[in-house]
C-alpha cells in the first residue's frame, strides 16, 4: 500500500515548529529587549527631568532679574524722568492734573510690561515637559476624575 501524498504535507508543519529550547530562548531574548527598552526609557526620563530643572532654574533667575529691573526702574530712574516730564508738560501749558496723569499712565504701562515678563519666565518653572511625560506614563496625573464629593464614578451622578 502506498502512502497518500497528503500525509507527507501534514508532517511538514510539525517539523517546522521550534522546539521548547528555541521558544525559551526567544522569550528570554524578548524579555531582555523589553528590559533594555525600559532602561532606555528611564534614562531618557531622567535626562528630561534634569533638562527641565535646568530650564526652571534659568527661568527663575531671569524672572528675578526682571523683577529687579522693574523695582529699580520704578524706584529711582522713573522719579527723575517723571519730574522732567511734568516740568516739560507744565512749560507747554498743561495743567498739573494732566501732567501728573500722563506720567502715571506711562509708569503703569512700564510696570505692567515688567509684571508680564516676570509671569512669562515664572511659567517656565512649571516643569511642563516632565509633567506631560509622567502623565503619558500614567504617573502623577494631576486631573483626577473624582469630584469634590469623592465620587470616582462619572456615571453615578445620573
The vertex-113 CA angle with 109 and 117, nearest 5°, equals 170
Integer CA distances (angstroms), 50 to 44, 65, 101, 111, 127, in order = 10, 23, 49, 33, 10
Helical (H) or strand (E) element with 36: helix 20-72
* CA–CA gap between residue 39 and residue 87 (Å, rounded): 70
* CA–CA gap between residue 15 and residue 108 (Å, rounded): 86
Closest CA to 67 of 19, 32, 115: 115
* More confident position, 66 or 157: 66
Q: How confident is the model at residue 8 (pLDDT cuts 50, 70, 90)?
A: low
pLDDT tens figures, 48-75: 889 988 888 889 889 999 999 888 877 8
* CA–CA gap between residue 56 and residue 114 (Å, rounded): 19
Mean pLDDT over 22-34 rounds to 87
Is the model's pLDDT at 126 over the cut of 70?
Answer: yes
Average pLDDT, the chain: 81
Largest CA distance in the chain: 128
Predicted TM-score (pTM) of this structure: 0.41
Written as one string, the DSSP assignment of 18-33 is --HHHHHHHHHHHHHH
Sign of CA dihedral 31, 34, 38, 39: positive
Q: How confident is the model at residue 156 (pLDDT cuts 50, 70, 90)?
A: very low
Amino acid at each position: 500500500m502506498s502512502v497518500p501524498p497528503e500525509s507527507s504535507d501534514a508532517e511538514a508543519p510539525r517539523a517546522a515548529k521550534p522546539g521548547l529550547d528555541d521558544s525559551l530562548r526567544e522569550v528570554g531574548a524578548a524579555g531582555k529587549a523589553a528590559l533594555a527598552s525600559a532602561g532606555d526609557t528611564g534614562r531618557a526620563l531622567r535626562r528630561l527631568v534634569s533638562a527641565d530643572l535646568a530650564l526652571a532654574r534659568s527661568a527663575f533667575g531671569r524672572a528675578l532679574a526682571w523683577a529687579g529691573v522693574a523695582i529699580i526702574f520704578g524706584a529711582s530712574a522713573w522719579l527723575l524722568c517723571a519730574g522732567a516730564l511734568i516740568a516739560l508738560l507744565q512749560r507747554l501749558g498743561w495743567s498739573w492734573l494732566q501732567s501728573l496723569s500722563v506720567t502715571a499712565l506711562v509708569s503703569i504701562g512700564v510696570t505692567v510690561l515688567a509684571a508680564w515678563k516676570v509671569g512669562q519666565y515664572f511659567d517656565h518653572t512649571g516643569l511642563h515637559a516632565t509633567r506631560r511625560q509622567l502623565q503619558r506614563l500614567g504617573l502623577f496625573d494631576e486631573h483626577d476624575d473624582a469630584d469634590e464629593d469623592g465620587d470616582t464614578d462619572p456615571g453615578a451622578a445620573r
